[in-house]
Amino acid sequence: MVGIDSSPTLVELAREAGGYTELVCADAAELPWEAQTFDLALAFMTLHDMEDMARTVAEIARVLQRGGRFWLAIVHPLNRPPEGLDDYFEDHRFADDFERDGLRMTFEGIDRPLEAYACALARAGFLIEELREPRPTAATLASAPKLAKAAKRPYFLHLRCVLPPAH
C-alpha cells in the first residue's frame, strides 16, 4: 500500500503510524508512479479540496490498470457551498477555522457541484458503479444525537468507479 499527501507533516505522521510500503510528499495532480501501476486507488475526503480536481482524477486513471477501481468519498455537494452563497453551480473557495481540544486548524477548500466530479470521472474514462449517500442508523443516532441532520440530508457522498478494460 502506498500513500501520497502534499503535506510533509502528514506524510511524516503517516510514516510514524506505519502500514505503508511507500509514502510520498507530492501533488496528486502529478502522481510519481508509472502508468498502470495499481489496481485500486482511494481518495478519502480529499478530492473535494484539491486545486486541480479534474487533473488529479486523470492522473489516477493514468496510474490505474484497466479494470482497476477508484473509490472516493467527498463532502456531499448538497452541504457545500454554505447557506447564503448564491450559485451552487460555481466553484467557491473557502477557509474555515476550527478549534478542538486546544488545537486550532484552518481548512481550505473548494466547493464544487456534483456535475464537476461526474464530468471529471467521465473525461478520465471512469464509469460510476455505485453511488452512496451514507445515512446514520437509529443506533448511531441514539449514541450521537448531533448527527440528526445527517438522517435527513447526507453529509457525505461515496462513489465506486471502474476504469473499464480497453476494447
29-69 residue pLDDT tens = 999 999 999 999 999 999 998 999 999 999 999 999 999 99
Rounded CA separation 160/166 (Å): 19
**Could you give the CA distance from residue 77 to residue 35 in angstroms, rounded to a whole number?**
31
Strand, helix or coil for residue 108: strand
Residues of the chain with CATH 3.40.50.150: 41-162
d(CA 41, CA 64): 7
Superfamily of domain 41-162: Vaccinia Virus protein VP39 (3.40.50.150)
Q: What is the pLDDT of residue 82?
A: 63
Q: Are 40 and 13 in contact (CB under 8 A)?
A: no
The pLDDT confidence band at residue 71, using thresholds 50, 70 and 90, is very high
Q: Are 119 and 149 in contact (CB under 8 A)?
A: no
Q: Are 80 and 89 in contact (CB under 8 A)?
A: no
Residues 6+ apart with CB under 8 A from 110: 48, 49, 50, 51, 53, 91, 92, 93, 94
Global pTM value: 0.88
Residue count of the chain, please give it.
167
> Is the separation of the CB atoms in 63 and 30 below 8 Å?
no
Rounded average pLDDT over 103-122: 92
Q: What is the mean pLDDT of residues 155-165?
A: 96
Residue 123 backbone zone (phi > 0: left; psi -120 to 50: alpha; other: beta): alpha
Q: Is the pLDDT of residue 146 over 90?
A: yes
